[in-house]
Amino acid sequence: MTEFVLPRVPLRAVTFDLDGLMFNTEEMYQEVDREILVRRGKPSSTELLDQMMGRKAQAALQLMIDWHQLTDTVEELLAESREIMLRLLPARLAPMPGLLNLLYTLEAAGIPRGIATSSSRKSPPASCSNSKWSRDSRLSSPAKRSSTASPLLTSTSWPPISMACGRRK
Question: Among all residues, which ones are annotated catalytic?
Answer: 17, 19
Contact status, residue 144 vs residue 105, Cβ threshold 8 Å: no
- Residue 83 to residues 18, 107, 135, 152: CA-CA distances in angstroms? 20, 34, 21, 23
Q: What gap in Å lies between CA 137 and CA 131, rounded to an integer?
A: 13
DSSP state of 115: E
Contact status, residue 23 vs residue 126, Cβ threshold 8 Å: no
Q: Does an H or E element contain 36, and which?
A: helix 25-39
At a CB cut-off of 8 Å and minimum separation 6, what does 129 contact? Answer: none
Contact status, residue 116 vs residue 161, Cβ threshold 8 Å: yes
